[in-house]
Chains A and B, each alone.
Chain A
Amino acid sequence: AQKVTQAQTEISVVEKEDVTLDCVYETRDTTYYLFWYKQPPSGELVFLIRRNSFDEQNEISGRYSWNFQKSTSSFNFTITASQVVDSAVYFCALSEHGSSNTGKLIFGQGTTLQVKP
């Protein structure tokens, strides 16, 4: 069964600090997708990144970077030089893409990030 664990419930940093949000996943499939979503205080869910299981290259997008390590079943998210606007709840999610390909997307519990000025 698929499972996503975000062990950090809440993180508080001061603006300009770097912060890493952890995500550990479990799956029996060899083909799967990992995602990160952001939920700002306004409540909508904003897609940040999708990564498939065959692509272990790290990705950087501006101040955001993602570190995917299959050996440790982790897909961690780092924000460099954090800003107040980064304050949000961040969700990691997993979708298996096996023979059934149900598309079912399972989320972690979320990490609340507070960036203080």
Chain B
Amino acid sequence: NAGVTQTPKFQVLKTGQSMTLQCAQDMNHEYMSWYRQDPGMGLRLIHYSVGAGITDQGEVPNGYNVSRSTTEDFPLRLLSAAPSQTSVYFCASRLLGQRKNTEAFFGQGTRLTVV
């Protein structure tokens, strides 16, 4: 019962470094997404995908790239980390259906600090 797996759980980056946050789900969900959580701002959508080869921007996409080569994986890339990207990141997936969409299942989160 792996569900949504995010790695790493913690990361410290220097300004200008790049890195990839990994997200994998084993529930065959079409929809996957990345959120960032900042104090007082709730969960803000960065990017999302409704299937392999399809991605779209959310509310705060600048500074982040995504790709969806398989149904299972949805990595989030920080091309050149900035202190403003210090945040907690969550990956989520959900099943989309013609009649019913499920709730979103979340990973455990990644706490990223950019110094």
The bracket for how many chain B residues form the interface is 20 to 34
Which residue of A is nearest B96, CB measured?
A103
List A residues at the B interface (Cβ < 8 Å). 6, 9, 33, 35, 43-45, 47, 50, 52, 91, 93, 95, 97, 101-110
Known A-B contacts A107-B35, A110-B42; A47 and B103 likewise in contact (beta carbons under 8 Å) = yes
- Report chain A residues within 8 Å CB of B98: 101
Closest CB of chain B to A82's CB: distance in Å? Answer: 22
B50 in complex: contacting residue of A9, A44, A103, CB < 8 Å: A103
A109 touches B108 (CB 8 A): no
- Report chain A residues within 8 Å CB of B31: 102-103
Known A-B contacts A43-B108, A101-B96; A109 and B33 likewise in contact (beta carbons under 8 Å) = no
Closest CB of chain B to A4's CB: distance in Å? Answer: 8
Bound Cα distance from A33 to B109, whole angstroms: 24
Closest CB of chain A to B57's CB: distance in Å? Answer: 10
- Report chain B residues within 8 Å CB of A95: 101
B43 touches A104 (CB 8 A): no
| 4 nearest A-B residue pairs (beta carbon) | A103-B31, A109-B42, A107-B43, A45-B106
Q: Which stretch from B15-23, B61-69, B73-81, B87-95 is at the chain A interface? A: B87-95
Bound Cα distance from A101 to B92, whole angstroms: 16
Known A-B contacts A91-B43, A102-B50, A104-B45; A44 and B106 likewise in contact (beta carbons under 8 Å) = yes
Which residue of B is nearest A36, CB measured?
B103
Supplied contacts A43-B108, A101-B96, A103-B96, 15 more A-B pairs, CB within 8 Å? A35-B103, A43-B88, A44-B108, A47-B104, A50-B102, A91-B43, A97-B101, A102-B48, A102-B50, A105-B94, A105-B104, A107-B35, A107-B44, A109-B41, A110-B42
